[in-house]
Structure 1
Amino acid sequence: MPQENQNLEGPDPAVTLAQAAGLAEHLQRVGVQWLPAADPDSVTALAEQLRFAADGSPGEGSEQVAERTPEGTSEQVSAPPAVSPPTVPPAAAPPTVAAGSAQPSTAGPTTGFSLQSDSADPAEPYPGPSLVPEMRAAELAKFSEQVAACTRCEILSQCRTKTVFGEGNVAPRVAFFGEGPGREEDLSGRPFVGKAGQLLTKMIQACKFAREDVYIMNTVKCRPPNNRNPEPTEIENCREFFQAQFEILRPEYIVCLGLVSAQALLSTKLSVGRLRGKFHQYFDSKVLVTYHPSYLLRNPAAKKAAWDDLQLMLRDAGLM
């Protein structure tokens, strides 16, 4: 039996194209990051078929919905303005996760530091009150005594000659943060006094500072055997001490010298090359990453890049 009120007219091609464009825009708004690019010839052929199905003749004002760029990506082209896009139902709510099951973390970096160098958010202040210089010196001396008696790292505590806590201005604008003591530092108990330390002194002087104007310290306070890199457990054993130093010192700028100190402070796996040339954040301090002086001694060509990094800090501090 024939159906009554059957619609014998074909779809309006302009409406069909507008609906497709509207749906594509909606999918991008709700998080769909990729849509397949349409083949231009196929789109044209389909549009002509729709027009012939509707009225038997080609329509006017036809526009291609999507075109392929030379790089192979898809660009959306807006539909004719005279046709309103259709209303699309809102995206479904995310599924509920059962109690006790693991959920992916969406939180930012650990409290206190950030790799977002262009973030507009204000820096998180250091915890606790800022101490006057006399109290800062007393607190640093207390932690220095704890470091001298520390035996958390069995290997380092047995092979060290002296622990190397740090030295310098207790209210510095700049703190230089290195990796660990070398042979000369292990013998003297002072940071950066060997050949790398002599180069660091020249870098500090090039910034129009004296060593006494800045604070110099390392990630680990004992010399690793044969100057090897500190083990992750050794860094974690010393974390309490270098974090306490920064909390007491509260420098305006922290210059991380090399990979070990940068990764330890910022809790990242990025390379020096990826981290340098911009500011990062550690509480109130702006963090600059550059090459370690020992690396510069082995690779003199990198000295220019290191100087560029220091100039970035000087310009930001209003010293250039």
Structure 2
Amino acid sequence: MDPDLERMVELLNEIDDILCCPRCDLALSRTKVVVGSGPLDARIVLIGEAPGRNEDEKGEPFVGAAGRNLDALLEKSGIQRRDVYITNVVKCRPPGNRPPRACEIEACHPYLQRQLEAISPKIIVLMGRTAAEAMLERKVNLGKEHGTVIEKGGIKYMITYHPAAMIYNQWLGDTIAGDFKKVSALLLEG
């Protein structure tokens, strides 16, 4: 079997497992599991924190206000949303949109790792402290580290603020847009 096709089949089987996941208490309150969206051969993967209310209802990532901010950021940087894969560190909405707990992130981490292995992106954008800390396995100071590119295992990880941060701190818009322009430049580097 073609290795790319085999990778896609594995990811689709994994999605079936995620949709029935009982690994943490988030399974008890979710409406829909939000696995991710985008092409399975994307060169860029965007990772956020967790689904919000709109995402939980629709079963798609970044469809609310933060999604509109993300769309604008991608457009400004010359990246098409249809060309990136978007997911979160946890696949179910935490009650009241609270940040996911460490045990919830740990329960979802194998799913996220398998998604990344199947997609095999060149660039992973870590949107927000929760995503950055989960993927880098250390504390992250967004104020100091946003825009930082870290190469690990042949993949470039870029740290930035979560697009939802712009809802409450509009002054962050230019900062985050600058970070996304760096992503666009990384993509051009190959």
* TM-score, shorter chain, exceeding 0.5: yes
Q: Give the structure 2 partner of residue 241 of structure 1.
A: 111
Q: Give the structure 2 partner of residue 7 of structure 1.
A: none
Letter in 2 for 1:152: R
Matched, 1:258 2:118: no
Contact 1:266 1:282 (8 Å CA) reproduced: no
Provide Cα deviations, 1:168-214, integer angstroms capped at 9, x if missing partner: 01111211100000011101111111111111112122222222111
Task: Write the mapping of 1:205-220 to structure 2, written as runs, cut at 5 A.
Answer: 205-220=75-90
**2:11 alignment partner, one of 108, 132, 140:** 140
Q: TM-score, normalised by structure 2?
A: 0.93
Letter in 2 for 1:305: T
Q: Secondary structure at the match of 1:318?
A: helix
Q: Give the structure 2 partner of residue 221 of structure 1.
A: 91
Identity rate of aligned residues, in percent? 36
For 1:249 and 1:293, locate their aligned partners in 2 and report how far apart those are by CA, in whole Å: 23
Task: Return the structure number with greater helix share.
Answer: 2
Q: Give the structure 2 partner of residue 196 of structure 1.
A: 66
Q: Secondary structure at the match of 2:121?
A: coil
5+ long unaligned stretches in structure 2: none
**1:173 alignment partner, one of 18, 43, 49:** 43
Provide Cα deviations, 1:38-77, integer angstroms capped at 9, x if missing partner: xxxxxxxxxxxxxxxxxxxxxxxxxxxxxxxxxxxxxxxx
Letter in 1 for 2:12: A
For 1:221 and 1:131, locate their aligned partners in 2 and report how far apart those are by CA, in whole Å: 26
Matched, 1:287 2:157: yes
Q: Give the structure 2 partner of residue 152 of structure 1.
A: 23
Instruction: Let me know the Cα RMSD of the aligned residues.
Output: 1.5
For 1:311 and 1:198, locate their aligned partners in 2 and report how far apart those are by CA, in whole Å: 17
The structure that has the greater radius of gyration is 1
Contact 2:79 2:184 (8 Å CA) reproduced: no
Provide Cα deviations, 1:211-237, integer angstroms capped at 9, x if missing partner: 211100000000000000000000000
Q: TM-score, normalised by structure 1?
A: 0.56
Larger RCO (CA within 8 A; separation ≥ 6): 2
Letter in 2 for 1:178: G
Q: Give the structure 1 partner of residue 185 of structure 2.
A: 315
5+ long unaligned stretches in structure 1: 1-129
Contact 1:250 1:284 (8 Å CA) reproduced: no
For 1:306 and 1:214, locate their aligned partners in 2 and report how far apart those are by CA, in whole Å: 17
Q: Secondary structure at the match of 1:180?
A: coil
